[in-house]
Amino acid sequence: MPIAKRRLSLAALILLVGAGAVILAILARTVAAPARAADSNALWHVVHDLCVTDMKVSGSPSPCLTVDLARGYAVLKDIRGATQVLLIPTLRVTGIESAQLLTRGSENYFEDAWRARTFVEKRAGRPVPREDVGMAINSIYGRSQNQLHIHVDCLRRDVRDALKANEARIGSRWAAFPVELAGQQYRARRVMGAELGPNDPFKLLAEADPKARADMGRETLAVVGETFAGGKPGFVLLSDRADIMRLDQAAGEDVLDHGCAVLADRDPDRATP
C-alpha cells in the first residue's frame, strides 16, 4: 500500500476511534449521570421541614397524606398522575444505595408502601386488585431526588399481562424473566403471602446477589402484587441493573402506569381517573 494511502487509512482510523470515544462518552453521561431536578433535595425538605414539623406541632401531616412517626415514613401525593403516591422515610435515607436499608431490624419500606396503596384506591375511587398495583424504586441513575421514595401506583397493562402469562416460570429464586418488561430485561422471583411481612425486597436482592450488594446504587426494584395459581396471594419482585451499553438507567418506575389505564379493563364502563 502506498505511504499516502496508509497515512489516510491511519487518519481515518483515528477519526473513527475518536468518534467512537465521543459517542461512548455521551452514552456514559446519558445513562451514568443521575437525572437532575432543580432541587434534588426537594422531597427531603417537604417531608422533613413541612410534613413532619406539621405533624409534631399540629397533628396534621400536611402537605403529606399521612406521617407515621413511629415507623418513620410519610406518604405524599406525587405531582404526576391522578393516583400515584410516594412512600418516603422521615429519616435521611438518600436512596437504594443506602447501607441503612440492609442493617438488621431496619424498616421494611416496601411493606409500608404496600399499605399505602389504600391512598391509590381512594384517589381511584374504587378498590384496586392486588395484581394491578405496583411499587418501584429507581436506581441512582434513574432518579431525580436524593431522598428514598417508593412509587406506588397502577401497573402497566402489558406488564401485568406478561407476568400473568409467565407466572409458572417465576420461582422462589432470582432468575431472568423470559420476556422484556417496559423495554428492559428484568430478573424476577416470587414471595408468597398477602403481605410482605419480614420479606424485605432490598435485603432479598442483596443477600442473593453479591454483585448487587457491592453496588446497590445501580439496582432498581419493583414489587408487584400477584394472585398465583389456586388463588394464593403473593408478590413478584423485579430487579434490573443500570447498563450504559443498553442505555438502561434501571428505572423500575417504568413498569407503572401513572394514567392507571389498567382499571378500565376491570370496569370498562368506568372512566379511568
Domain ranges of the chain: 42-266
pTM of the model: 0.85
* Total Cβ atoms within 10 A of residue 23: 10
Whether residue 147 contacts residue 93, with contact meaning beta carbons closer than 8 Å, is answered with yes
Whether residue 41 contacts residue 147, with contact meaning beta carbons closer than 8 Å, is answered with yes
Q: What is the pLDDT of residues 157-171, one digit of tens each?
A: 999 999 999 999 999
Give the CATH class of 42-266.
Answer: alpha beta
Compute the distance between CA of residue 127 and CA of residue 118 in angstroms, rounded to an integer.
8
| Beta-strand pair 187-192/66-68 | unpaired
Residues ≥6 apart with Cβ < 8 Å to 46 = 63, 64, 76
Would the CA dihedral through 122, 128, 132, 136 be positive or negative? positive
Mean pLDDT value of segment 205-230? 96
How far apart, in Å, are the Cα atoms of 161 and each of 60, 71, 155, 158, 182?
A: 40, 34, 10, 5, 12
Q: What is the pLDDT of residues 36-80, one digit of tens each?
A: 456 999 999 999 999 999 999 999 999 999 999 999 999 999 999
